[in-house]
Amino acid sequence: MKVGIVVPHIFMQRELLGRVIFSPGVQVLRLANSLQEQGVSVTLFSPGEVDTNAPNITADLRYFKEELAARGDDYLGLLRKHPLTFITLARQVQSELIAQAYTMANNDQLDIVHIYTNEEDTALPFAGLCNKPTIFTHHDPFNFLVHYKNVFPKYPHLNWLSLSYAQRKSMPAGTNWVGNIYHGIDPVTYQPNFGGTQDYAAYLGRIIEPKGVHLAVRAVKQYNKNASKPLKLKIAGKHYSSKPKNSYWEKLIVPELNDPMIEYVGHIKDERDKQEFLANAAALLVPSIFEEPFGMVLIEALACGTPLIGLDSGAIPEIIEDKKTGFIVEKKGIVSDGKRQVIDETSAVQGIAEALGNASKISRKSCRESFEQRFTLKRMVSEHIKVYEKLTK
């Protein structure tokens, strides 16, 4: 079986992957490399070269780089200063990769084409010109951005993979789902530490309002009011203080850092540092307000044997086994103003604080076992192979 996996997002190149948060890029490398090891012939299409054991077809970035040089910018500099120009150039690169993959399929060089990223809207209208099966994996809620929300309902008949059953809710009824495949990671990547310090609660992720970091702060402060052994909250992740429209970090998080029990530890990139951060935590807090399509950090924490405490947003209840691997806290008073969800924050904070009081009752070995049973790379790869085989028969 010859599989073409297309990741046309401009961040998918060695030069950028270490500088940005792009979890689909990390996951697709794991998928492509493991498929290749399982004997599946994989060709990985990406804008620039990436570290993979699969044949890697890249786009011609010459003209993009010439434009950057003429402006005295790099990729991220152009994205910050002139986003429309950046997106226009990126779309040209994406179109080139998708055309290459579909042409190779039509020439019998590929048996199936898997578009694996958020920039598949260019690939959708041309899928009908490919005479081999195509399949699509998207990595955000389907209604997350306006241009996605408007285009997806035109193509429910195509082959779709979901990351969670919650992710499917924003697609039209009758969408042709050919599988639901949870993300997975190699069990050796993260190891449990059942005897860790467990003297802090952890938050790991982007520091933006939809992720609810301010709720984690309030919950830990409330828990500490009556706790015999108070917990620190250690916040790790990338904040966006440089964005003029994003004052969340300065207004809601920075003032809280004056409290010695609230600590910002920076943006953790190295997997060994991430393991230490997660494995020593009493619990990982996932207070997301928006409908999470999956949540990689949850399975990373489970791999480390760390209990989870999360709001019932999107896929979070699909990952947490309530009272076995952590606690699911119900969101109440949900109202939408068309742009965001507004919840009863007092109730959410109370629920998270109460769950923190019971976190020590969760077996850390059960957390690791849940990971090994449900979220390994081997399982993820085998489920992809089954879907590919089904579509190519």
Clarify whether residues 223 and 126 are in a common domain.
no
- Could you give the dihedral angle defined by the CA atoms of residues 366, 369, 370 and 375, in that order, rounded to the nearest 10 degrees? 150
Closest among 217, 306, 212, 304 to 261, alpha carbons compared? 217
Residue 191 lies in a domain: no
Clarify whether residues 342 and 245 are in a common domain.
yes
Residue 165 lies in a domain: yes
Clarify whether residues 327 and 388 are in a common domain.
no
Clarify whether residues 208 and 273 are in a common domain.
yes
Is the pLDDT assigned to residue 352 strictly greater than 90?
yes
Per-residue pLDDT tens over the stretch 62-73: 888 888 898 998
Clarify whether residues 180 and 211 are in a common domain.
no
If one counts the domains in the chain, the total is 2
Is the pLDDT assigned to residue 22 strictly greater than 80?
no
Residue 194 lies in a domain: no
What's the CA gap between 292 and 300, in Å, rounded? 16
pTM metric for this prediction: 0.92
User: Using an 8 Å Cβ cutoff, are 179 and 210 in contact?
Assistant: no
Per-residue pLDDT tens over the stretch 137-195: 998 888 777 667 788 889 999 999 999 999 999 888 899 999 999 999 999 999 998 88
Residue 190 lies in a domain: no
Clarify whether residues 214 and 232 are in a common domain.
yes
Residue 20 lies in a domain: yes
Per-residue pLDDT tens over the stretch 195-239: 888 999 999 999 999 999 999 999 999 999 999 999 999 999 998
Residue 386 lies in a domain: yes
- Angle between helices 377-392 and 23-37 in degrees, nearest 10: 70
Range of the domain at 173: 2-184+376-392
Clarify whether residues 362 and 388 are in a common domain.
no
Q: Where does the pLDDT of residue 19 fall: very low under 50, low under 70, confident under 90, or very high at 90 and above?
A: confident
CA angle 270, 187, 389 (to 5 degrees): 115
Clarify whether residues 212 and 271 are in a common domain.
yes
Clarify whether residues 102 and 214 are in a common domain.
no
Domain harbouring 140, CATH code: 3.40.50.2000
Clarify whether residues 214 and 329 are in a common domain.
yes
